[in-house]
């Protein structure tokens, strides 16, 4: 007990000495400590309540809201991207369909034209064949006609030659002779 009072006295003395010293360190002036501690306590309590009741929940909510907005925006962007991909796919599909259709039409048309062409060619061939046959008969006729004419001419000529030579041409003999010659 006595000891504590002694130390208290000693600290009091030191304190007085410190106060009396004009250039003493203001930080060690114990008389101002209660004042500083009191106002510090007030300040800390005020700051603590301002921060914990108003500022920090508000900032936390703003940050959470921002995170939510960003997440939503990203989700929306992703949605739009998916939609765009889908649209592109549809477009590609339509394009491919149109291509196959066009190819189909081309093939069909080609086949049709080919068929028409074939038919026309066949018809033409038939016509040509008919004409050829006709011509052949005509040629054969002409050839036969020509043979007859040649025969007649040869007979006449032979008769004339015989007559000219002074003979008497027997019609039957001349004819058979000419025919035999012509065959030979």
Partner 1 sequence: MAAEAAGPSGLQIHPMDQFMIKPLFGNGEIAFYTPTNVTLWMALAIVAIVVLMVVGTSSRAIVPGRRQSVAEMAYGFIYKMVEDVAGKDAVGFFPYIMTLFMFIVFSNFLGLLPMSFTTTSHIAVTAVLAMLVFLGVTIIGFVKNGVSFLGLFWVSSAPLALRPILAIIEVTSYFVRPVSHSIRLAGNVMAGHAVIKVFAGFAGAMGIGAILPIGMITAVYALEVLVAFIQAYVFTILTCVYLKDALHPSH
Partner 2 sequence: MEGDLAHIGAGLAGMGTGIAALGVGNVAANFLAGALRNPSAAASQTANLFIGIAFAEALGIFSFLVALLLMFAV
CA dihedral for 126, 129, 135, 136, sign (positive or negative): negative
Q: Which is nearer to partner 1, 62 or 149 (CB)?
A: 62
To the nearest 10 degrees (0 to 180), the angle between helices 56-165 and 171-183 is: 140
Q: Which is nearer to partner 2, 13 or 88 (CB)?
A: 13
- Does 8 bind partner 2 (CB under 8 A)? Our answer is no
How far apart (Å, rounded) are the C-alpha atoms in residues 28 and 178? 173
- Tokens at 96, concatenated: 């491919």
Q: 14 touches which of partner 1, partner 2, none (CB within 5 to 8 A by kind)?
A: partner 2
The closest of 171, 153, 172 to 163, measured between CA atoms, is 171
Q: Closest approach of Cβ 33 to partner 2, in Å?
A: 14
Q: Closest approach of Cβ 6 to partner 1, in Å?
A: 24
Q: List contacts with partner 1 (CB under 8 A).
A: 21-29, 31-44, 46-48, 50-52, 54-56, 58-63, 65-66, 69
């Amino acid at each position: 007990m006595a000891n504590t009072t002694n130390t208290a006295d000693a600290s009091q003395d030191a304190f007085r000495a410190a106060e009396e010293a004009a250039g003493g360190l203001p930080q060690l002036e114990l008389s101002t400590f209660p004042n500083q501690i009191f106002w510090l306590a007030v300040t800390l309590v005020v700051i603590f309540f301002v921060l914990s009741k108003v500022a920090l929940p508000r900032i936390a909510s703003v940050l959470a809201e921002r995170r939510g907005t960003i997440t939503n925006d990203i989700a929306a962007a992703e949605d739009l991207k998916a939609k765009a991909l889908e649209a592109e796919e549809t477009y590609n599909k339509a394009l491919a369909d149109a291509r196959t259709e066009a190819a189909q039409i081309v093939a069909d048309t080609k086949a049709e034209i080919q068929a028409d062409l074939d038919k026309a060619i066949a018809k033409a061939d038939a016509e040509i064949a008919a004409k050829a046959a006709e011509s052949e008969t005509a040629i054969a006729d002409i050839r036969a006609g020509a043979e007859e004419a040649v025969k007649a001419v040869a007979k006449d000529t032979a008769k004339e030659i015989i007559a000219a030579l002074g003979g008497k041409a027997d019609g039957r003999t001349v004819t058979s002779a000419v025919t035999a010659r012509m065959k030979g």
